Amino acid sequence: MTHPEQTKQIYILLTNTGSLFSTAIGFYTRQRFNHVSIALTDDFNAIYSFGRKHPKNPVIGGFVNEIETQIYDHFVGTSCIVLKKEVSLEKYARIHESIKKFETDKYIYGYNLIGFAGFIVNIPIKRQKSFFCSQFVGEVLKQGGVDFTNKPSELVKPSDFLGHEKFVEVYQGDIIDFLSNPKKHLEHSKIEFYL
């Protein structure tokens, strides 16, 4: 049995901003949540993904910290599901290191629009220095040794995280409400879990 001091939590956020792009993706996927991000701390002061670098410009995309871009301040009413996963300290360190490499070189990364087109027709298209959101999260988890799917990262969908036994839902609702006091919401989910 693994002791709590030998593990850490990672968090997966599934969001729906209601943007035109998100709505278009949802029309194809028939899923409510079509964007995915990852956070490594329970204060959620950094939420990593591939998406808009500027909230008002849907064309320029790449590696982002969604807290820095303030995307959720722009898309008021964004709904979300927050999932958590317990990982070993070693896996956590590997995921952290992988994300830090993206962050260090963030200016050389772009949005993998061609790969996203391949994703839509179920053909994995890998491009150097280009990712889309679920490809990025799938890739950093894979690099960290967290196996949750047999799919290549280029075919990972946000919905692959939902309902998966390795991820536990800890919140569903408005993301601004969640981010206003994430520790309170996480604590509340623990209480509900034990009831």
Tell me: the pLDDT tens digits for 55-93? 888 778 999 999 999 999 888 889 999 999 999 999 999
4-194: in CATH 3.30.160: no
Distance between CA atoms of residues 120 and 100, nearest Å: 29
Average pLDDT estimate for 91-107: 97
Q: State both tokens at 193.
A: 């879990």
pTM across the whole model: 0.90
Other beta carbons less than 10 A from residue 180's beta carbon: 10
| Residues 63, 107 contacting (CB under 8 angstroms) | no
Domain boundaries, the chain: 4-194
Average pLDDT estimate for 180-188: 89
- Strand-pairing partners, residue 120, are none
Distances (CA, A) of 154 to 100, 119, 136: 20, 7, 8
Distance between CA atoms of residues 192 and 47, nearest Å: 25
191: three-class secondary structure by DSSP: helix
Other beta carbons less than 10 A from residue 185's beta carbon: 18
